[in-house]
Every structure is written in structure tokens, then in C-alpha cells.
Amino acid sequence: MIYKKMKVLLGVFMALVFAELCYASVLYGDIYGPDLRKFEGMVQIEVNSSPRQYRVATDGTYSFFLPVGEFLITARYVENGVVMLEANQKVVVRDEGRFIHDLVLLPTNETYVPPPPNNNDDDNDEPLNDREMGYVALIIIGSVLLVLILGFFIMRSKHKELKEDEGKEALGQSEKIAGEEIPEEKRDNEDESKAMETLEGVIQIIKENGGRTTQKDIRKKIPLSEAKISLMIAELEDKGIVRKIKKGRANIIILNQEKDKIAKDKNTRADNEEATDNSRD
């Protein structure tokens, strides 16, 4: 809703800026004195347009925005409250565009003495002064910058909303995954995998293969690195539970039956003693 209102305000602003430019002509020219040289005094210029337009020229040039029609331009040079030079000229604007109309100021009383000629005066070679057109160009540039800034903030707001929606969606998926129960079969597989990663798991694998197997086969059944498997076998070998025989590039792991039997007997005696103590109690 806010963006819609901003667009409407921007449209009204642009219409006001370009209204005069689109439906008016530009009338401009130079101001000359009685000696037909460019007059650089302070000249008051007025045109009977609607509304009435008024300018004070100090560089010998003027310009007006006028619609199609007939107008009267009045130019006066005032000195000490007395109008010394004056020009009254009718102009007819028949079409839109840019038109040149120079003004010649003539004396209104006999006391006026024209200034001495300046041989170094090159004013006639100067280009036309279009300050008003420069102002219009500045307004156009400002309007374009305003549109670009507005577009930037709109795109930034949309990008922020999109990122917030993606974050909410990702959070919802995480909560859904966290709320799901792990299947019983998957839990059993995980427990079995953890058990296989212990020393007892290595011994169990050797027993399942008739008391003899290769280190490579153990590595296939236990999801650990080769270095970790080697350390586990070395520990069992130090305890005398297994023996490792090098055969070519392979390591043959053999379960020491006597050590395994002694371990079983110890476990049996311990269980029997515990049972006797319980019966006495």
C-alpha cells in the first residue's frame, strides 16, 4: 500500500515538473542598447502572459516560457528612479519550440548619453544563455535520481522479505526433522555398529570366521579407519588374545584359543562365586 502511494506522489511530481516543458515554447534573446551593442546593465523585463512573468537581466540576455498566443514584452533600464531606456515589442508565438527575439532599448529622455564603445568587447561572439533550460535539466536529473533511489529501496525490501521467508521455511523443516522419531530398526543397526567398533566386536568377527580372518575383512565389517583397526588388533595382540601373521601383503589374524578359554573360565568362576555369595545371603 505504501509503495502504491509513493508511485502516485511520484507521478504527480513528474507531471508538475514536465507540464510547462511539454506545453510551452521558449522565447529568448539578447538585449541591445541604443548603440546596438549588448547592454549589460540591470534591465527589468516583463511579459503579459498568464500568469504575468517578470525578469531582471544583468548579462544582456533573457528567456521566457510562453504558450501559443500574442504577447507584449516590456523592457526598462532605470537609473536613479528614472526610466532611461525602454523597449515595448509585440511577439506572436504560433507553435511550440524555441524562438529568438532580441530587444533594442531606446532612450526615453534626452539626458541619456550612451557609454563609449569598447574595442575589446567580444560579447557578440558569446553563445546564447539558456539558464532556464539548465534549471529544467537539473530538475530532470533530480527526478531520475529519485526514481532510482525509490527502485533501490523497493528491491531491497523485497529481497529482505524473500530471505525471511526462506529462513522460516528452513526452520520449519529443521523442526520437522527434529520431531521425527528414529525407527526401531535404525536404532538397532546403530547399536550393533557401535558394538562392532569395540575390541569385543573384533574378537566376535574372528570367531564368526572360524578363529581366523584377515585384517582387510575386519576393516570391511567395522566402519573405522585402517589405522584405528590396526591399533585395536595391536592391543589384542599385546594382551595375547590374537596373533598376527604376515602373509604377502595381507595380515592374517588368528584367535588364541587358549587365551580365549582362560578368559571364559575366569568369567565362569566369577559368576559361580557371585551366585554362591547370593545364596548365602
Do 160 and 60 contact (CB within 8 A), yes or no?
no
User: pLDDT tens digit string along 83-93?
Assistant: 889 999 999 98
Do 103 and 29 contact (CB within 8 A), yes or no?
yes
Pairwise pLDDT comparison (232 vs 24), residue with the higher score: 232
Fold assignment, 196-273: Arc Repressor Mutant, subunit A (1.10.10)
Residue listed under C-alpha cell 572360524: 210
For 33, the grid coordinates are 542598447
Pairwise pLDDT comparison (158 vs 265), residue with the higher score: 158
Distance CA 58, CA 63 (A): 13
Residue listed under C-alpha cell 532605470: 78
Nearest to 74 by CA among 94, 45, 104: 45
Q: Which helix (H) or strand (E) holds 57?
A: strand 53-57
Instruction: List the Cα angle 225/229/233 in 5-degree steps.
Output: 170
Do 117 and 35 contact (CB within 8 A), yes or no?
yes
Superfamily of domain 2-108+128-142: Carboxypeptidase-like, regulatory domain (2.60.40.1120)
Sequential DSSP letters for 157-182:
HHHHHHHHHHHHHHHHHHHHHHHSPP
Side chain identity, residue 57: A
Side chain identity, residue 160: K
Highest average pLDDT, of 157-161, 166-170, 275-279, comes from: 157-161
- What's the mean per-residue pLDDT of the chain? 77
Average pLDDT of span 109-119: 55
Q: In this structure, is the dihedral angle defined by the CA atoms of residues 275, 276, 277 and 281, taken in order, positive or negative? A: positive
Model pTM?
Answer: 0.35
All CATH 2.60.40.1120 domain ranges of the chain, comma separated, are 2-108+128-142
Q: Check pLDDT > 80 for residue 263.
A: no
List CB contacts of 132: < 8 A, sequence separation 6 or more. Answer: 26, 28, 63, 65
All CATH 1.10.10.10 domain ranges of the chain, comma separated, are 196-273
